[in-house]
Structure 1
Amino acid sequence: MTESPLSGPRPHPYAHFVPTLNKLRSGSADTTTPSALRRLRVVLTVFFALDGFIFAGWVVRIPAIKEQTGASSSALGLALLGVSVGAVVTMVFTGRLCRRFGSHPVTVVCAVLLSLSVALPPLTHSAMALAAVLLVFGAAYGGINVAFNSAAVDLVAALRRPIMPSFHAAFSLGGMVGAGLGGLIAGSLSPTTHLLGLTLIGLLVTAVAGPALLRLAPPAAPTGQPDKATGPRRLDSRTRRLVLIFGFIALCTAFGEGALADWGALHLEQDLNAHPGLAAAGYSAFALAMTLGRLSGTTLLERLGQTPIIVAGGATAAAGMLLGALAPTVWLALAGFLVTGLGLANLFPVAVERAGALAGPSGVATASTLGYGGMLLGPPAIGFMADWFTLPVALTSVAVLAGVAGVIGYATRR
């Protein structure tokens, strides 16, 4: 296709018909108009929220699944490693799938798989069987996270605004609702009934939002930027290092999110004698703080920039997690979870967005693999440390890694 009058001297005489022809060929709606971009933002937000809702619904039932399987802390940690392995392996390949088939179809397919697989854990009665079904759940979880983050990076570039935190706010809001609902029904519904309900909700939402997403083509790259759909970009060593740095920041911060998701309720119930419903509210409080922090993330990034957000966020999360892990009462621990959520809120979306801006879907896949790898490998690590020491001591590792993320952000500020 020839260049436009703004970028080259000789436009093709039929160039203005090309977008229409492409639209007719693909069956997708044009996403160059503001209204189409707004629709795409809404649909992607729905999928982010659904992901958080389903994941939180699973994690608040972990104590019940642990009791059902009779697993020790270390055996449960190994079973949870199934989520990690499935997610990380899938993330490695999802960037390529997004390049070949598009991030929107991959998002829809993974949403269906995620909805179906969340019903499997209550059907198991051993740690080995639990690990096997969590492998499937983790594969779907990892795939959808790379796919819709890639789609979100394209939209951020098209809008030229740092709106990535708003998508992750939807994930946190979904997690808050899922955890809150799980806490309310934990004493009245079995895990089997609860998680089967999540399957039905997930399939219903995907049936409504999926066709809408498939009708919207990914936005074209802004003028002056390379088109990521044309193929993988050859990255120089400096760009690769930056992508890995952003991925490591994501790892350090997502470690805390995974630890609180899988072990926060157990810490409150086991170490502080909280009622199961109140224990489930621990992750809900954390997710609420993440949501509020991310809802303000775009404004904060526009006013302060990335480095202050990373440094201040890492320091705040470190202080909050020390309180949450070592507090002698439930209410102080909940306050610590809130502060931790506020600190971690915008670190992961900033890291993933920057990696995607540098390297397209491959950058998103790399940063997501490291980041969600930290989220999903963290819980098994916490389990082993809890057996070696105690669960409160194990949770202080979250504070350490949050502080490391802040230091890295300051050291690489230029």
Structure 2
Amino acid sequence: MTASIPQKYTFFTLVVLARPALTAFFAMGLVWGGFAACLPQIKAALNVHEGTLGLLMMGTPLAGVLAIAMAPVIAPLLGRFSLPLSVFFLAIAASLVGLSHNLAVFAGAMMLLGAATGNADVLMNARVSMMENQTGTSLMNLSYATYSLGMAVGAVLVGMVRMLEFSLSDIFAMIAILTALWGVLSYEAHGQITGLSVSKTEGQSPNLGLLPYVGGFVVMIAFLSENATESWSALHIEQTLGGSAQEGSFGPATLALTMVVARLAGQGLLTKISELKLLMAGALIAAFGALIVATAQTAFAAYGGFVTVGVGASVISPTALTMVGRLATPHNRARAVARATMLGYFGFFFGPPAVGLIAHLFGLRAAYLATAFALSMVIILAPLLIKLGRKI
């Protein structure tokens, strides 16, 4: 049984303390929220069906995982500039997506976006884990709430701009500029990210055991459900349910705003209930929400499903990563979190393409049913994390 995490700081103090990582999380949310709201317009511009669009995005996870594997090499070389530079790379990649006027260019731009996202995310999570270790306070739910807030802002902004019939290049240029500005705010004078590579002099073990792999699988399911629901929600509303572009953009925005509130609540709930209970309850609620989306007959009903998915899924990945970091030995904490993040990104990146392929073969309703089944697996996996704790 896991104990709840003590809270020693006010909410404002936590925000100030985690500011470098929070701004990076927000910037990433801007990019992916804007991308999700723009997906119907991208699909129309490329003139492809869901299956082809999913295949075009298959290079994204491969580039992302490669970038995650390279992060331990890159971070020491860039020192305190590693986090802001990773956000600038994300902004550049986002701008290139808007310039994709044919299939090959779009596939290449998505690979760059995947690499930029993977690199930034492993650095953000490692930095947050370091802060948690230093302060003894959970910061993951707050960090992911900030990501969700950025996602909501990005989705709403793009929805408004799409109504004004802006081009894809203009939309993604706007996203890139905003992302770069937030990247500036992620700089800190003592922001070196350490512990990502093995150092025997610091007592690290090259063998991390099963903990980060089981935790990573839980994160993978969470990322799959979040990103797949986010990325295809606008298309589901517009295509399956016959909604307008504005109604479609409210899909990812509704999910994101719900996750902001739920993750902030999760930050407080960890002071009152165990991580294990929060993780299992979140998975159950999210699976139920995916079932609502799959069976929705109106856009309003789908919004209700997105809210339910957001409430449940919001706490899964940050709580699982917190558990991996807390249950690992201190010297292996950053590497364990990085390994879990790398595995999780298979879900983050492969989720949207996989859902696209399922949607092409069986429809988006079937894709959301598959998402509900995947989320139910977390209920089985969560107790294993406790059994594997402190074995690395």
Indicate whether the TM-score tops 0.5: yes
* Aligned-CA RMSD value: 2.3
Confirm or deny: 8 A CA contact 2:215 2:385 kept in the other structure: no
Q: How does 1:230-379 map to 2 (within 5 A)?
A: 233-236=204-207, 239-357=208-326, 358=328, 359-379=332-352
Q: Say whether 1:88 aligns with 2:65.
A: yes
Shift of 1:347: 0.9
List per-residue Cα deviations over 1:150-207 (Å, max 9, x = no partner).
Answer: 0010001111011210011000011111111111221212221111011122222323
Q: How does 1:6-405 map to 2 (within 5 A)?
A: 39-98=16-75, 101-102=78-79, 104-188=80-164, 189-207=166-184, 209-210=185-186, 213-217=187-191, 233-236=204-207, 239-357=208-326, 358=328, 359-405=332-378
Residue 3 of structure 2 corresponds to which residue in structure 1?
Answer: none
Shift of 1:328: 1.1
Confirm or deny: 8 A CA contact 1:285 1:337 kept in the other structure: yes
TM-score of the aligned structures, taking structure 1 as reference length: 0.84
Inter-CA distance 378–36: structure 2 relative to 1 (3 Å threshold): closer
**d(CA) in 1 for partners of 2:258 and 2:163?**
25
Identity, in percent, stands at 25
Shift of 1:307: 0.7
TM-score of the aligned structures, taking structure 2 as reference length: 0.88
- Mean Cα displacement is larger for which, 124-133 or 393-402? 124-133
**d(CA) in 2 for partners of 1:149 and 1:390?**
34
**d(CA) in 2 for partners of 1:219 and 1:369?**
17
Confirm or deny: 8 A CA contact 2:279 2:320 kept in the other structure: no
Shift of 1:413: 4.4
SS in 1 for 2:163: coil
Shift of 1:382: 0.9
Shift of 1:125: 2.5
**d(CA) in 2 for partners of 1:285 and 1:153?**
28
List per-residue Cα deviations over 1:351-398 (Å, max 9, x = no partner).
Answer: 223333423332222111111220110111111111211111112111
Shift of 1:232: 7.9
Confirm or deny: 8 A CA contact 1:94 1:365 kept in the other structure: no
Q: Which has the higher contact order (CA 8 A, sep 6+)?
A: 2
Shift of 1:346: 1.1
**d(CA) in 1 for partners of 2:14 and 2:236?**
43
Unaligned runs of 5+ in 2: 1-11, 388-392
SS in 2 for 1:273: coil
**d(CA) in 2 for partners of 1:325 and 1:115?**
33
What amino acid sits opposite 2:68 in the alignment? M
Confirm or deny: 8 A CA contact 1:289 1:341 kept in the other structure: yes
Unaligned runs of 5+ in 1: 1-34, 222-226
CA radius of gyration, larger in? 1
